[in-house]
Amino acid sequence: MITHPDFVAEPWRLRASGLDLSVLAQVESIFALSNGYLGWRGNLDEGEPHGLPGSYLNGVFELRSLPYAEAGFGYPESGQTMINVTNGKVIRLLVDDEPFDIRTGVLRSHELCLDFRTGLLRRRVEWISPAGRAIRMTSSRIVSFSQRSIAAVDYGVEVLDGPARVVLQSELIANEPLPPQAADPRAARELADVLEGAEHRSDGRRVALAHVTRQSRLTIASSMDHVVDGPAGTKVSSDSSPDLGRVSVSADLVPGQRLRLVKMVAFAWSGSRSLPALRDQADAALTGATSAGWDDLVAEQRSYLDDYWEHCDIRIEGDVRLQQAARFALFHTLQAGARAEGVAIPAKGLTGPGYDGHAFWDMESYVLAALTYLVPEAAANGLRWRQDTLPAAITRASQLGLAGAAFPWRTIHGEECSGYWPAGVAAFHINADIADAVLRYVNATGNREFEQSVGVDLLVHTARLWTSLGYFDADGRFRIDGVTGPDEYSAVADNNVYTNLMAQRNLVAAADTIARHPERVADLQVGDDEAAIWRRAAAGMFIPFDHTLGVHPQSEGFTHHEKWDFEKTGADQYPLLLHFPYFDLYRKQVVKQADLVLAMHFRSDAFTAEQKARNFAYYDALTVRDSSLSSSVQAIIAAEIGQLDLAHDYLAESAFLDLDDTGHNTRDGLHIASLAGIWSALVAGYGGMRHDETGLAFTPRLPRGFSRMSFGLRMAGGTLRVKLTRTHATYDRTSGPPLHLRHYDTSMQVASLEPQTLPIPPAAVAGKTPTQPAHRSPAPYSGGTPDRQDQRSRR
């Protein structure tokens, strides 16, 4: 677990003023840089030591077999795993022939600093070699938002106490050896030596390599160029081989002199374009970057981020540690999706190989839920990728004997990759999650062209699945039996409330949207009565309710199951999936992650206030939060029902999940959906924001510890900034056309330069604080350092 006293609470930076090798892999994830297309883990510049090396191109994967002891019809035959591509980060340093290695000599100081405003990762080191020579090394690293193929390093070294010969070796390395695979099923599958050398060349300060993946046959081109600034006599040479390209720089330095190396690296990849075309693409990108230079690249990055923070920043007064965590979350959510064009957003982003680099349903339900209001075009790109993968989803539905599309539970390229059949076959809620993301994006942007060209396709094909999968019973109720909802500790259940409510919205939206775009009826072959069947199924959707307990069962009959014996479950037996068979989990009342509670968030309109309070209390006592997807949603509903102290504890759990590595798996990459969920917990929880077809509404309420909070939303061609105190809310349309919204029961129009301030009504007296399973209460958070005694593994 990371418990760094070095992570000083700073509002705009994350700084580690020391280096603990026992948590190096976790630190590499936290300090990773990415733009959604290209990702570099925060490995040390010299390449060693490392916890887990990582250089990723989004969408680049290798195929692997999915062995089954007993195969079944419809099981996926192969999986896809994100691979470690050519590493362009490495710059090795030798001082009088002694390699700079922090494990040798004396490390006088070491600092890493990630600046959220500039997007730069800076490093500063003072080291004394085993021979006694003292040096200072500084580096700055960038993965560009404006030039998506480009990453760069500005590396400098100076001697402090006498002359020395210094050699820098800047490298491109393919097929790096990887550490042994972890036993945790959430970790990645280890694939070694997957890149076949196709071309290598060196010319002065420029080196290029090209490779092809052995099974998936994807072609990757990488190239690097350098600017060298050193004293007279500085020498440069280069060489290359199939898996290694190197530029060597040597200089004799005396105190007061500095050797500086600016390294630009470019990447291109494709599954269809030729090697010459990709080589030329990488070379062109590299030429453009080197012509502009380091300073212009940094200025472009600052300009991009200035715009982002101006419109999207969350400002918190009263808790600098949560302020830091919020901006950390906003920064990494942006990094995960900003330039993910034509590809998915993996569960770990490009910060590590966890979950094999797969995208899940939480891309739409968590990450796009935030990006829709932060970077709308990134959300649109995520949905365009789903449209691109429609053929695979239609094929999958046909294979399962269903109409429409069956989108995969986990994938990189669009095909189902899960060998866990209760999810890979039965987690159909992904269809409704995609439909919900379409509706959210169109409602937020008003982009009817997108709805016509992308949204209709997704809504129609997802709706067709529901009428094929479900049926009308003798009482005229529309049932969807035998599905797996968001909670992975329940599987293949009848009438999961989340699935049914989200499918209901999906069906109505498909009918409404096709009515708005009759020009698409013919090419989608929507029959005369098909939309009517969608509406009838939605109207008759069966939503189970337990009248005896006064709560909604998560799925039909769930509240009649035996309850899990939490008192006999030890604190060291979480997460349960690593200590108990799924068979036992499936037949008990135990919840891995928010399911019915998630339904109350996304379908708030389907529950009364009393039902929300009763449901929340019932399921909080069953939810063990073995998934990082849970605590942010529990924070939202806890805030809505007036349990602000509990909401704050859940928010803190999400906020520090990766920063403190409370789940013990940050080494494999950050939890991007959980980070995006922090945005939702603050905006939908404390801001009380709800946005659906009926409009935009806010019911804000600040917790203890926050004196003020504000957040920005990009909506309908402009920006809305919401500013909250403990007694008033101000709605400021800083740009764009007038916007209609509701504040509690008051409707208003907010126009540019005409902010509206309204009082926040007194809070109703909250009921009894819900209880949680033994050992699973969130750690109390009072604004300082949370008590970590009850923190255990999370997904």
Contact 150, 33 (CB under 8 A): no
How far is Cα 725 from Cα 320, in angstroms, rounded to an integer?
Answer: 16
Backbone angles phi, psi at 435, to 5 degrees: -60, -40
Select from 124, 143, 167, 169 the least CA-distant residue to 56.
143
* Tokens (6 digits) for 52: 């887990």
Q: How many residues does the chain have?
A: 795
Instruction: Classify residue 283 by burial, with Cβ atoms within 10 Å: 0-12, 13-18, 19+.
Output: middle
Beta pairing partners, 196: 212
* Tokens (6 digits) for 56: 């990723």
Q: Tell me the DSSP string of 27-62.
A: HHHHT-EE-SSEEE----TT--S-SS--EEETT-EE
Select from 775, 618, 783 the least CA-distant residue to 705.
783
Select from 163, 176, 160, 153 the least CA-distant residue to 247.
153
Give the residue ranges of DSSP H helices in 338-451. 362, 368-374, 376-388, 390-399, 421-424, 429-445, 448-450
How many Å from the N-terminal Cα to the C-terminal Cα in the chain?
A: 15
Select from 685, 678, 679 the least CA-distant residue to 702.
685
Q: Which amino acid is at 540?
A: G
Cis check for the bond before 575: say yes or no (omega within 30 of 0): yes
Q: Is 488 a catalytic residue?
A: yes
Contact 32, 39 (CB under 8 A): yes
With a CB cutoff of 8 Å and minimum separation 6, the contacts of 163 are: 252, 253, 254, 255
341, 488, 556, 653: the active-site residue: 488
Backbone angles phi, psi at 131, to 5 degrees: -85, -5
With a CB cutoff of 8 Å and minimum separation 6, the contacts of 753 are: 733
Select from 412, 400, 556, 554 the least CA-distant residue to 473.
556
How far is Cα 698 from Cα 742, in angstroms, rounded to an integer?
Answer: 6
Reduced to 3 states (helix: H, G, I; strand: E, B; else coil), residue 189 is coil
How far is Cα 238 from Cα 207, in angstroms, rounded to an integer?
Answer: 7
**Catalytic positions:** 488
